[in-house]
Structure 1
Amino acid sequence: MVLRSSLQAIAAEILETPGSHPGCGLELRFAWATKEPERRCHDVQAVMQENWPDQRIVQHIHYLFGEAPVSFNVSASVYFDRQVNEEQMQDIPVLCDHMLHVLNKLFMMHE
């Protein structure tokens, strides 16, 4: 789970700027190694879209240039389109439970 905030939002939070609505961006990131990135990435994309259909999902495939890849490091990120602030803190445990559910699905796919 990655939380990102701009310097402007942090300053608004610290200074308690009237009329500001500081928050941060939320990204959920899953990573694994695979020998079959093309097949696995399609399966992962389906799971991610099933669980977060309205969010932007991005996958990255990494390997060392100049070496014959034995396996590929893959990451899948879910980017939420709304800012998270103190009002959503009660949602974090539910989100963590949902992430564990998805992680279990991904684990079962890679066995």
Structure 2
Amino acid sequence: MYDPTVFENLKVAFENLLYDMDNIERKINITNRTDRMDFSIIKRDFSIEFVLSDKQKVTAEIIIEASLEELASEILETPGKAPGCTLQLKFQKSVIEVPEECKSIELALKEIWEDDITITQRLSFEYGQLKKNYVNTILLSFHQKIKEENIGEIDDFLSSVIETLELLHTI
């Protein structure tokens, strides 16, 4: 009988809670989802993007990935290996006052999220646009792998994502 991988179990846990927040609670609107197997490097990744139902100027995306090494060690039941997935959060929002807003974003994110993350802010703009309006892509990379033992923590994690979305709308 087929035994789902850690990646599959985490993906389903995130999907269930997020679709409940979309369809039942009406807190968010899911705008995109990707479930991919990259055969060139043998990697699985899943992402789901959403916005708050009542404030749609900031997007959030949750990304989980399982590498070939992670998948193989789990399927082959390699002794001493604890299978897990990498976890990232991506937010996108418009900024005008770059130094002030980016610093405020960094400080706010450090208040919400633990110290074991790396925060990267990448600014872009459309060539030829007249106003000085940048798209800030904010990536939070978690240093610890997420495992099946963390499934019970996903609800609290999603509450922090919603809190982050709310906060980013105020900056």
The root-mean-square deviation of aligned C-alpha atoms, in Å, is 1.7
Q: Which runs of 5+ in 1 are unaligned?
A: none
2:74 is aligned to 13
Is 1:34 the counterpart of 2:134? The answer is no
Which structure carries more relative contact order (alpha carbon 8 Å, separation 6+)? 1
Q: Which structure has the highest strand share of the two?
A: 2
The 3-state SS of whatever aligns with 2:104 is helix
Separation in structure 2 between the aligned mates of residue 103 and residue 78 of structure 1, nearest angstrom: 13
Shift in Å, 1:85: 1.0
* Structural mapping, 1:59-74, within 5 Å: 59-64=121-126, 66-68=127-129, 70=131, 71-74=133-136
Q: Report the structure, 1 or 2, having the larger helix content.
A: 1
Structure 2 CA distance for partners of 1:103 and 1:12, relative to 1, 3 Å: same
- Whichever residue aligns with residue 30 of structure 1, its letter is F
Unpaired stretches in structure 2, ≥5 consecutive residues: 1-61
Q: TM-score, normalised on structure 2?
A: 0.58
Identity of counterpart residues, as a percentage? 27
Change (3 A) 1:69 1:87: farther
**Does 26-35 or 91-100 show the bigger shift?**
26-35
Deviations 1:60-98 (A, max 9, x none): 11123x535632110112211111111111111110011
**1:106 corresponding residue in structure 2:** 168
Using a 3 Å threshold, how does the CA distance of structure 1 residues 69 and 46 change in structure 2: closer, same or farther?
Answer: farther
